[in-house]
Amino acid sequence: MAEGEKKKRENPLVSIFFNIIMPVMILTKLSKTGTVSFFGIEMECLGPLKGLLIALAFPTIYFIWDYLKRKKTNFISIIGFVSILLTGVIGVFEFPSEWIAYKEASVPFIIGIALLISLKTPFPLVKKLLYNDEIMDVERIDGILKETNQEDKFEKVLVNATYIVAASFLLSTILNFVLAKILIKSPSGTEEFAQELGQMTGLSYIVIALPSCLVMMVALFYLFRSMTKITGLPLERLLAPHLQDSIKEEETSEKQ
C-alpha cells in the first residue's frame, strides 16, 4: 500500500487522547477554583467556564485538524461535532442542565433514524458504516455480485444489517439518557457541573460505547457471514486490501 494512503487513516490513539482523555482530565481536575496537583505539579485551576471551553476545544480542534489532514469526514463525525457545540452552548449560556440528558439521547437517536430513512434512498448509510473500503474489498465483492446476479440478495442483507445497527443506536440513546440523568445534577456553568460532565464523558465509553460496539459487531458478523455465503469467498478475502496486508504481515512475523 502507498505510504500516502496509510497517512490518511485515522490514528485511534490520537483520537482517544483529544476526544476523551484531555476533556475528561480538564473537566474533572482543572475546572475548579484555586489550585490543584496535576501529575505532581501544582497548577492554578481554570474555573468552570474556562475549563469547559478548553475541554470542548480539544475534540473541536481534532475534528477540524482530522478533516484538513484526511480531507474526509462523515455524517456521524458531523453529528458528534454538533453535539460538542451544543454541550458548550448549554454550559456557557447556563441553560438548564437537564437539557444535557436530552442532548445526549438525541445524537444516537438522530443517527439511528437517519439510518432507517436512508434505506428508502439510493444511498443507505449502512454502506458508509460497514460496507466501505476501510473494512471490505468493495470492488471485488461488487464484481462478484454483478457476475453472479446476486445484487438483490445482497441488498436484503444490507437492510437486515441496518436494522441491527439501528438497534445499537437505540440502545445508545437509552443508555445516554439514563447516564446523563444519573450524573448531571448541578446547575450548568458551575464547578460541579463541569466535573459531572467530565465523569459522564469518561464513563460513557464504558457504559455506552462497549454495549453499542457489541451490537455493532453482531451486525458486522452477520454481514461477513452472509457475504461468505453469497460470494463463496473466505472471510480473509472479503477484507479490504490493507487489512489483508496487515494479517499477512502479522502471520509472517509470528513465523519468524
pLDDT digits (tens, 9 = 90+) for 204-218: 878 887 888 888 889
pLDDT given for residue 201 in this prediction: 81
- Tens of pLDDT, residues 101-140: 998 899 889 888 988 999 888 888 888 778 888 788 888 8
Beta-bridged to residue 35, according to DSSP, are 44
Put residue 96 in one of left, alpha, beta given phi > 0 → left and psi -120 to 50 → alpha.
Answer: beta
Write down the pTM of the prediction.
0.74
Q: What percent of the chain clears pLDDT 90, i.e. is strictly above it?
A: 19
* The three grid cell numbers given for residue 35, joined into one nine-digit string: 489550585
CA distances from 119 to 76, 109, 160, 162, 179 (A): 16, 16, 10, 8, 30
CB 134 within 8 A of CB 73: no
- Tens of pLDDT, residues 137-191: 888 899 999 999 998 999 899 899 999 999 988 999 999 999 999 999 999 878 8
pLDDT given for residue 131 in this prediction: 84
Would the pLDDT of 4 be above 50?
no
